Amino acid sequence: MTRCRIARSLSMSLLTLVVSACGRPPEPIIPQPPVNGDEFVARINQEMRDLSLELNAAGFTYATFINPDTEFLNAKANERYLTYFSKAVAESRAYEEQQLSPATRRALHLLKLSVAAPAPSDPAKRTELAAIASRMEGMYGAAKYCPQGPDSCRDQTQLTEVMARSRNYDELTDVWTGWHATARPLRKDYVRFVELANQGAREIGFTDLGAMWRSGYDMKPEEFTREAARLWDQVKPLYSQLHCYVRSSLQKTYGANHVADDKPIPAQLLGNMWAQQWAEIYPLVEPYPGVNDLDVTAALVKQKYDAVRIARSAESFYVSLGFPKLPDSFWQRSLLKKPADRDVQCHASAWHMDSREDVRIKQCIEPDQESLMTVYHELGHVFYYLSYKDQPYLFQNGAHDGFHEAIGDAINLSMTPAYLHDIGLTGEVKRSEQATINEQMKLALDKIAFLPFGKLIDEWRWKVFSGEIKPENYNAAWWQLREQYQGVGAPVPRTEQDFDPGAKYHIPANTPYTRYFLSYILQFQFHKALCAAAGFKGPLSECSVYASAEAGKHFRDMLALGQSQPWQETLEKLTGTRQMDASAIIEYFAPLMGWLETQNKGKTCGWQ
């Protein structure tokens, strides 16, 4: 019989699993009777690693070849893995009252957190959960907006491009509305998904799925909720000043009838389908027009950068820090460009296929600045994988999930105008106060604008999982949080027929999102520590650690620890502190903050 490898997306979590033959799926691995805690953990590490080989092969194929067959096999893969997971967690309870080494006790805790949505023990419900998870992700990946029939269809990549480039209010509103309408069919599935995933979380000892997610931060769930609020309070003043300035600038383009002084900014005007990052509207808000050439996209196009050349550029940065070159298999097996002949999930992701050296990314790379930054980010995941590959399987993860997202973003902060000039992607760098403000504005539209969005996604889900937000109020609660945190409003009236959360990949893919909020705090802490290790003297915003062997050593030493110890200890190893702290962001953007406060004097800031 001809063998084949079939697959599905992992979504940066262990939510999925696998079958690897075209015929009957192999029998599930069933945990054996208890021995002692150390032996049990050793066995689980080996069995989970073995399962992950199938899990990730299935995941990657499904993500890069969406069709009914891969969707079906993906669902079966989910079911098989979740069966194993449920039995392994049940067996682990035999050791909870025993004397265990710290490493073994930590591994048992991480075992319970190793899926993003545990299934109920009931086989029928487990099958149902796997099918729903697979179906939602497939529906998102294949979604298109077809305003005038099949010949007019545009996928997410094409629609996102319109959102970035168009300055036509009506066109932007139409594209935004069309994409968000594609999420309506997900609503019924999501309601049932919440019911089933909550049941699974309760069966393994958590009050709901949100409490389970918050248990992954080496503190109690309620303590973590307060920690996230504390970090937001640190950065909120800077976001508020940026929001005020951007709204005033957009009013000049679209008029006060569309952008009112005391109202949220219409979501479709911020250059991004989800209004999560605003860098694409930089030409509309540029403080000092023409000061420094920051048009990286134009340079990439002019110099005919293709997907491979962009990825090679990112690799070269990490190699300059002492990381190894990517294995040949990375270049042979990654998906770097959107195929013309099939549906794929273009949402960028990194993959650790075998828990060793088979690493890949999946990204529909375009010759633009966003793609360039994203590739540098995704390779942060990849080099983290390679750094902790010698850890036991249950410790092969970031110190917490925010660490994993912060690695590549810390490297992004070293992509200064001077660095980009050195590699030929910007004009000559002329240092001046005006140049500094322009550079910081462009970065703030990406980094600072994202912070409230990064926080509210999971705040909405935590309340959904706890029952505070009920299905009949999903959409209204979503927009209440978006207005509260972002000061962003829906372009057109919304109802409970809509399911706007589902128009964001991480909701149907069930990927926790607080990791991104935390990463935007941590990346500046990492950057400051790396710059100190590199011996840099000067403004933090001008530091690039490119080619610094000393910074690279500090970085690699931290990454090699994986999740083997509490994140506070790992953070201390690089930064000297055990607490996440946004003071490095405030220091970094101090010039821009002062400039914004001056520009906003006399303006109506805030929103009703």
Active site residue 370: no
Q: Which two tokens stand for residue 112?
A: 């319970």
Residue 487 region by backbone torsions, left for phi larger than 0, else alpha for psi between -120 and 50, else beta: left
Q: Which of 348, 399, 529, 551 is catalytic?
A: 348
Q: Which of 516, 520, 546, 588 is catalytic?
A: 516
DSSP states along 296-350: HHHHHHHTT--HHHHHHHHHHHHHHTTPPPPPHHHHHH-B-S--SSSB---S-EE
- How many degrees, rounded to 5, is the angle at CA 10 between CA 8 and CA 16? 75
Contacts by 571-579, CB closer than 8 A, 24 or more apart: 571/399, 571/522, 571/525, 574/526, 574/529, 574/530, 575/525, 575/526, 575/528, 575/529, 576/529, 577/525
Tokens 């309620």 sit on residue: 222
DSSP state of 51: H
Active site residue 243: no
Active site residue 516: yes
User: Are 18 and 59 within 8 A, CB to CB?
Assistant: yes
Q: Which of 79, 128, 366, 378 is catalytic?
A: 378
Cα gap 576→565, rounded to integer Å: 16
Active site residue 406: no
Q: Which of 91, 405, 439, 459 is catalytic?
A: 405
Active site residue 95: no
Q: Which of 381, 400, 527, 554 is catalytic?
A: 381
Active site residue 128: no
Active site residue 347: yes
Active site residue 348: yes
**CA pseudo-torsion sign 114, 115, 120, 126:** negative
Cα gap 264→243, rounded to integer Å: 9
Q: Which of 347, 352, 400, 527 is catalytic?
A: 347
Q: Which of 352, 377, 400, 404 is catalytic?
A: 377
Question: 10 Å Cβ neighbour count for 103?
Answer: 16
Q: What is the 3-state secondary structure (H, E, C) of 518-574?
A: HHHHHHHHHHHHHHHHCCCCCCHHHCCCCCCHHHHHHHHHHHCCCCCCCHHHHHHHH
- The set of catalytic residues is 347-348, 377-378, 381, 405, 506, 516
